[in-house]
Structure 1
Amino acid sequence: MDSLMHHKTAIIFIAMFACSSAIFAEQTDSYLNTEPDINDNPSQLQSIPVLQSLHNLKQLETHAPYVHDLKNRYKVRTLFVESQDLPMVDIQLTFNAGSARDLEVGKGLYGLSNMAAGLMDEGTERFTANQIASAFEQSGAQFRIQSYRDMFIVKLRVLSDPQKLEPALAMMMEVLSNATFKNSSINMSRSNSQIGQKQLQENPSRLMGIRFYREIYGQHPYAEPITGTNGSLKKITPEYLKQFRDKFIVAQNMNIAITGKLSTKEALKLSERIAGNLRQGEKAQDLPNPAIKKTLNIVHMPYSSTQAHVMFGQLGTTRNDPDRLALEIGNKIFGGGGFNSVLMQELRVKRGYVYGAYSAFSFSQSPGTFSFSYSTRQDQLIDSIRVAHKALTDFVQQPIDRKQLEEVKAGMLRAYPNNYSSNSSINSQLGLLGFYHHSADYLDQYPKLLEKITAEDVQNAIRRQLHPDQMTLIVVSKELNKIELNDILQGNLTPKENIPAGEPKSTLPPKAAPAPVPEADGPVLSQHDRHAST
């Protein structure tokens, strides 16, 4: 009897394992074959029909939360979402005080905003760093400050109980208004940064990202790393940090986002307390527009490594450009949509040159960037660059595939509710809406705007914004013949003669057997504002 039970248990386990393996295989290999395996035997794996029946479930309808645009008497824009599910309150203060403002305090002070964010909770005239940390801990609060290129963001998450909320709020205001920025803290920050700079020299993909921003932006405030450089950090003093705080961490240079278990009246009162207890100050000035490069620009960074690293890019556009949503869709099709994207098909699926190739737009106050990057073996470098640039050129010139467009839009709409799946994510979205001056109902309008976009809209936006003949190309490799590479890229840009009917349209060599997948770093993640996800 025992042996029979053991036998049955073994059969059940094997069936469960086979089922789970089939699910995993479908998830990982769906880009190769979406048809069901004809060898599956439902009589042996009864769970398969059950799993397949899940495809018949209708997508759950979700609605964006209602956003209140509160009329703050200090005229500080405040967006609020009431959420009674959890006894929590999320507060985000978003200041127009990112690293783009560093040079407005003094020449060469790159990294000033980032250092201010890192040192604000290191002590005030009344409280030490330990006392500040203890105050938040005793309130059960989470407190964080971070600087980006455009934004300086302060976040507080705390229980809605006034006995917890009040002390946490008071300490947040103390830190923002009275941080001392002691020399000892500055020296510690410099020391940590120097260690980071040494590690940076061993990371070619990050070096490439830094060089890319410098080439694209030149003398523009976006050009230098958010964290600054060893030279610039040596110039930063407590006086400069206080000047930065007094100029930019002020009520008239921020917007407030609140999500949680409060009434509208309570949220308004809270926002006025925050705005009223900060220096009023003035709104930051508009940033200048960067100079546009009109020619191909090839930059070689010698680096001894088994892998070569490649990054193409150019200036993009602003967050409020009418083309933005169409460009987001176009980017998904070209290089931001996984294995079905053009880049992955050309570089990995067809040729096995890379593990991954990724494209991205960054949208900001001043024009952001469009870029795509990958890593490959040194012996495949030149041809991979030719293929990648040709893929972009063809993508700009040829019509958008309507079926792929609809698939991408459907995927974006399915993923969109993740932007308001928690109080924290909702509040981040509110901060974004306030910073970029979107309407309070934007979260609700976004899917409708996305639905309306046509293939022609995407194609026109791509042709207006992307210019294969004006790309900056950064190559990190042992060696590079820039003259030869320039000729190859110019060849991609030259219109080909009409090919007789029946002849293959592609000018690329026949598909080769995929090479062994090379070791590669992940995609280059440039340091720009990452809250522009909608």
Structure 2
Amino acid sequence: MKNRVFHSFIFTLGLSVPFATFAMEIDVATTVPHEFSEPSLVAPLQSQNLLHSLNAVNELPDTHAPQVHDFRTRKQVRSLFVENTALPMVDIQLTFNAGSARDSEVESGLYGLANMAAQLIDEGTPRYTAQEVASTFENVGARFSATAYRDMFVVRLRTLSDPDKMHTAVEMMLTLLKHATFEPSNIQRVVSNTQIGQKQLRENPSRLMNIRLYRAIYAKHPYAEPITGTNGSIKRIQPQHLQKFRDQFLVAQNMNIAITGKLNLKEAEKLANRISSHIAQGQAATALPLPVAASTFNIQHIPYRSQQAHVSIAQLATTRNDPDYLALEIANRMLGSGGFNSILMKELRVKRGLTYAVSSSFRFTQATGLFSLGYATRQDQLIESIQVAHQALINFVQQPIDAKQLQETKAGLIRAFPNQYSSNASINAQLGHIGFYRLPANYLSDYAERVEKITAEDVQRAIQKHLQPDRLTLVIVSEHLDKATLEKMLQDNLLAPTFLTPTQHKINTMPTEKTTLAPMQEVVEPDLVPFDVPASILNNAHNESDVD
């Protein structure tokens, strides 16, 4: 007769949901190794005394931000360091002012240069083959990567803190930064892979919208073209272009250093000095030009046969260094990034069932970044959904800020912020962000206090200054679009703003996020990899397979 054992498993569905306990029946005869005896299976759980009720969460000690050491190397390179002795490892991030916005500074129209440099920088030097580079990192347990964004070129190295192993890994990183060869055969491989990505692009309306959106808003500005460039531009890239990019932008005076891990301050200073002294010094990149804002509505239509229409609404907003940054982050949380509590989600989904999900975001960058909102809806609900989204934005800008929602939003941001420095990699990404945008070293420790000080008046003033519902760019992927009707509706919203009235809907008629698309015409826009987001510290952490 088979023995059967019941084990209890406890899980949570978020802080607002109570614990639930489930029993699972295990067939001991088929699932338990032979050497396990019956007594060991029924022994009391040793960890029961460690379990906590959610009622006691508020009694747990506060999580404090890590102490950030801010110093300059002998070469005057800003370096930020956080000591973390929990694991025998060190994370290093070199953040260069060398994103895809710098591509055309090497040669006009050479879009995709920074991205290709990031993909090929570890593919060999005059002394080492690509295999030897990979083996060097692997043999000492290190991991190297490089990524290009619009603003940044980010080099990351994760290594063990053992001095010999760390020395070997850092030496190889410095060798790549100084001597990467960018062989023609490797360039051709990247070109071929990018061309293959074109086929996937034809079936991805979100990426199509993103490309068209940036081109429509930024026009001739360096931010306008995709990070990966175009089919025509990447075919022009030669080894000498990549070497010139490296020599001009991947230099000490154009970077900041972030170090996190099992080192003391003296050791971190020694490491930072070594890094900044062993690569070319060069010069800091010049400031990017400011883009020109639109003066009226700009409606862009991408024809697609689809059961759904996809909508992106955006405008130029502001830079990362704007004093209104924090007030706008709070405003965005209230408007469109706060889940079911956000205004857009309530108006479009909860009250009317016009979409499955809607969100908004600010993209804060060196030059003026974007505010945008986006969603998908049924074809027959397209105009209505845009009318509701636009009117919700107008009301949000013009009407007083809800004090209760503001307080709840601020509390949520403060509670969630410790997640942004919960691991070595996330701390290091935060340090890279602080260094790149020239933020103060106490940015992490003072965050909660600064959020708490934001008032409703601060938020109202910020959104009225930076959000213009009369100057929006709309990019719509749909089978048909009556532009004249849409523009008249937008103008009517501006002339006669009204309070929104909920409409009747059925939940099962709401559009889902799945769709099958068949293009009506050949898609000529380039593929977009990596995804078009700034090198935000809130997103970088998940790119690392962290276990710390």
Would the TM-score normalized by the shorter structure come out above 0.5?
yes
The one-letter code sitting in structure 2 at the alignment partner of 1:325 is L
Stretches of structure 2 lacking an aligned partner (at least 5 in a row): 19-50, 516-527, 540-548
Q: 1:58, CA displacement in angstroms? A: 3.1
Contact 1:353 1:515 in 2 (8 A): no
Counterpart for residue 355 of structure 2: 354
Contact 2:392 2:500 in 1 (8 A): no
Contact 2:429 2:537 in 1 (8 A): no
Question: Matches of 1:81 and 1:96 in 2, distance apart?
Answer: 22
Matched, 1:528 2:533: yes
The one-letter code sitting in structure 1 at the alignment partner of 2:533 is H
Counterpart for residue 129 of structure 2: 128
Counterpart for residue 45 of structure 2: none
Question: Matches of 2:531 and 2:193 in 1, distance apart?
Answer: 20
Q: 1:453-492 to 2 correspondence within 5 Å?
A: 453-492=454-493
Q: Could you say what secondary structure the match of 1:121 adopts?
A: coil
Q: Deviations over 1:394-429 (max 9, x none)?
A: 111111111111111111101111111111111111
Question: Matches of 1:244 and 1:392 in 2, distance apart?
Answer: 42
Question: Matches of 1:339 and 1:55 in 2, distance apart?
Answer: 26
Question: Matches of 2:61 and 2:346 in 1, distance apart?
Answer: 31
| CA gap 1:100/1:440 in 2 versus in 1, 3 angstroms | same
Instruction: Work out the percentage of aligned pairs sharing the same amino acid.
Output: 56
The one-letter code sitting in structure 1 at the alignment partner of 2:409 is V
Counterpart for residue 45 of structure 1: none
Contact 1:375 1:521 in 2 (8 A): no
Matched, 1:151 2:156: no
Q: Deviations over 1:260-285 (max 9, x none)?
A: 11121111111111111111000000
Stretches of structure 1 lacking an aligned partner (at least 5 in a row): 36-49, 497-504
| CA gap 1:85/1:56 in 2 versus in 1, 3 angstroms | closer
Contact 2:352 2:503 in 1 (8 A): no
Counterpart for residue 42 of structure 2: none
What number of residue pairs does the alignment pair up?
A: 496
Q: 1:514, CA displacement in angstroms? A: 4.0
Q: Could you say what secondary structure the match of 1:57 adopts?
A: helix
Counterpart for residue 421 of structure 1: 422
Q: 1:93, CA displacement in angstroms? A: 0.4
Q: Deviations over 1:62-113 (max 9, x none)?
A: 1111111123110001111111221111111000000000000001110000
Q: Could you say what secondary structure the match of 2:476 adopts?
A: strand
Question: Matches of 1:84 and 1:51 in 2, distance apart?
Answer: 26
| CA gap 1:71/1:472 in 2 versus in 1, 3 angstroms | same
Q: Could you say what secondary structure the match of 1:370 adopts?
A: strand
Contact 1:350 1:514 in 2 (8 A): no
Counterpart for residue 169 of structure 2: 168
Contact 1:354 1:520 in 2 (8 A): no
Matched, 1:516 2:517: no
Contact 1:205 1:521 in 2 (8 A): no
Counterpart for residue 296 of structure 2: 295
Question: Matches of 2:249 and 2:503 in 1, distance apart?
Answer: 58
Q: 1:56, CA displacement in angstroms? A: 6.3
Q: Could you say what secondary structure the match of 2:122 adopts?
A: helix
Q: Could you say what secondary structure the match of 2:305 adopts?
A: coil
The one-letter code sitting in structure 1 at the alignment partner of 2:395 is D
The one-letter code sitting in structure 2 at the alignment partner of 1:279 is A
Counterpart for residue 323 of structure 1: 324
| CA gap 1:51/1:485 in 2 versus in 1, 3 angstroms | farther
The one-letter code sitting in structure 1 at the alignment partner of 2:112 is G
Give the TM-score, by structure 1 length. 0.88
Question: Matches of 2:303 and 2:366 in 1, distance apart?
Answer: 33
Q: 1:163, CA displacement in angstroms? A: 1.7
Counterpart for residue 38 of structure 1: none
Counterpart for residue 368 of structure 1: 369
Q: Could you say what secondary structure the match of 1:79 adopts?
A: strand
The one-letter code sitting in structure 1 at the alignment partner of 2:336 is G
Q: Which one of 496, 499, 515 corresponds to residue 506 of structure 1?
A: 499
Q: 1:294, CA displacement in angstroms? A: 1.1
Q: Deviations over 1:457-499 (max 9, x none)?
A: 1111011000110010111100100000111111111135xxx
Counterpart for residue 390 of structure 2: 389
The one-letter code sitting in structure 2 at the alignment partner of 1:168 is A
Contact 1:183 1:237 in 2 (8 A): yes
Question: Matches of 2:370 and 2:137 in 1, distance apart?
Answer: 38
| CA gap 1:406/1:157 in 2 versus in 1, 3 angstroms | same
Question: Matches of 1:254 and 1:246 in 2, distance apart?
Answer: 13
Question: Matches of 1:110 and 1:304 in 2, distance apart?
Answer: 30
Q: Deviations over 1:148-188 (max 9, x none)?
A: 00000000011111121111111111111101100000000
Q: Could you say what secondary structure the match of 1:464 adopts?
A: helix
The one-letter code sitting in structure 1 at the alignment partner of 2:68 is V
Question: Matches of 1:345 and 1:495 in 2, distance apart?
Answer: 22
The one-letter code sitting in structure 2 at the alignment partner of 1:518 is P
Give the TM-score, by structure 2 length. 0.86
After TM superposition, the runs of 4+ consecutive aligned structure 1 residues lying more than 4 A away are 50-53
Contact 1:197 1:230 in 2 (8 A): no
Counterpart for residue 402 of structure 2: 401
Q: 1:258-273 to 2 correspondence within 5 Å?
A: 258-273=259-274
Counterpart for residue 377 of structure 1: 378
Q: 1:238-277 to 2 correspondence within 5 Å?
A: 238-277=239-278
Counterpart for residue 30 of structure 2: none
Matched, 1:494 2:495: yes
Question: Matches of 1:293 and 1:411 in 2, distance apart?
Answer: 34
Counterpart for residue 523 of structure 2: none
Q: Could you say what secondary structure the match of 1:442 adopts?
A: coil
Contact 2:93 2:259 in 1 (8 A): yes
Q: Could you say what secondary structure the match of 2:125 adopts?
A: coil
Question: Matches of 1:88 and 1:507 in 2, distance apart?
Answer: 54
Contact 1:84 1:262 in 2 (8 A): yes
The one-letter code sitting in structure 2 at the alignment partner of 1:363 is F
Question: Matches of 1:248 and 1:52 in 2, distance apart?
Answer: 53
Counterpart for residue 313 of structure 1: 314
